[in-house]
Amino acid sequence: MLYVSTKTQSIFSSDYAGCIHMEAGVPRSIPNAMMSDALAKGVQPYIVEGRVVEEVEVDSVPAHMQKALDLAVLTRDAQLDSDDEVEPEAPSEEVEEESTVEANLHSAMEDVLARNRRSDFTPGGRPKLGILRDITGLTYLTTEQVDEAWASYNEA
């Protein structure tokens, strides 16, 4: 459903980590999680000729957005029409084994500890993810991997 505001305003959500910008008189959809905040700010359902407008009509889409809309519809239709079963891709050979990743992290942690720069550590005292990514070259590292490696490093 589309909603419209009588004034240009930004609506911040109290429950949902988000914000929407409403232009005066310009209809737009609002996430359900932000509905109570929008209604509290005076946003009303968009009504044309006595009926509530449920979705954007094709004629009302700005020209600069039409290409993106067409692409989205074509992509969705292609996905719906596809009867082919897609084989899952095999894991990339670039992904290193867990033991190799952990060994690289332990080596990088030793380097970070030897440098002893305050900016290389989190407030909790663990080496920062970005520093470890830079040293190891493992750009796909996650915080969980670093936490596990840090725990095992401290146990050793």
What local confidence, expressed as pLDDT, does residue 38 receive? Answer: 87
What local confidence, expressed as pLDDT, does residue 93 receive? Answer: 47
What local confidence, expressed as pLDDT, does residue 125 receive? Answer: 87
* pTM summary value: 0.39
Q: Which residues contact 29 (CB under 8 A, 6 or more apart)?
A: 1, 2, 3
What is the DSSP track for 94-141? Answer: TSPPHHHHHHHHHHHHHHHHHHT-GGGB-TTSPBPHHHHHHHH--TT-
Task: Note down pLDDT in tens along the chain; length 156 residues.
Answer: 788 899 998 888 777 667 888 888 888 888 888 888 888 889 998 888 778 777 655 555 555 555 655 655 555 555 555 555 555 554 554 545 667 888 888 999 999 899 888 888 888 888 999 999 888 888 888 888 889 889 998 887
Question: What is the rounded CA–CA span in Å between residue 62 and residue 42?
Answer: 25
Of residues 113, 107, 155, 154, the one with CA closest to residue 135: 107
Largest Cα–Cα separation, the chain:
73
Q: Is residue 10 a contact partner of residue 21, using CB atoms and an 8 Å limit?
A: yes
